[in-house]
Amino acid sequence: MTETDVLKRAQEYMLSLARGFDPLTGEEINDDSVINNVRMSRCFFYVADVLGKVIANGGEVSKTTVIKTTAYTMLSDEIINSFPYNDSPMGISNIIKTLREMIGEHGKPLSAVQITAWLLNEGYLIENIRSGKREKVATAKGNALGITVKEGINAQTGIPYRMNLYDTKAQRFILENHNRILAQLQNTEENV
């Protein structure tokens, strides 16, 4: 068996474990096993990916510099202060769209999902189940910040919905915390 064959087998084992199967028997691993933990699964996928790169590199481990072309942009004070804060409450997607236009093609702001997840984690939003779907709505703390919930009915589907709207104070809060959220995400990625 060649070195490449050993690497390929190791990669197959990692992929099997990541998917929740015993690599030797092919049987599904019990849900309560530590191997089926989400963090372990991510680790197995990561190792399998690294092994794939080593295999593609002829079995050699090489140090390469990865340049993230889609790195998130830290917001300058100029962008935060010149943002066209809207007197009418606006949705998070509109805030992100405006930031994208201000930053231009050389960077990008955090996504609405990332910011909403942070607001949820900080207690400004809460996740509920409504009509079988998850929704995030403002808490009392979120209301005090300036997040309100608009209720409506989708004109095409007739399905009711709720949408969080952010007043001027909440818009400014999001922009002023953008860089903090970004730093927390980067720390999380480094510790995975």
Does the pLDDT at position 89 exceed 50? yes
Nearest to 111 by CA among 124, 90, 138, 93: 93
Position 62 confidence tier, pLDDT thresholds 50, 70, 90: low
> What is the average pLDDT across 105-122?
90
Does the pLDDT at position 188 exceed 80? no
More reliable by pLDDT, 160 or 82: 82
pTM of the model: 0.60
Does the pLDDT at position 63 exceed 70? no
Percentage above 90 pLDDT, the chain = 39
Query: Exposed, middle or buried: residue 68 (CB in 10 Å: 0-12, 13-18, 19+)?
Result: exposed
> What is the average pLDDT across 97-120?
90
> What is the average pLDDT across 63-84?
72
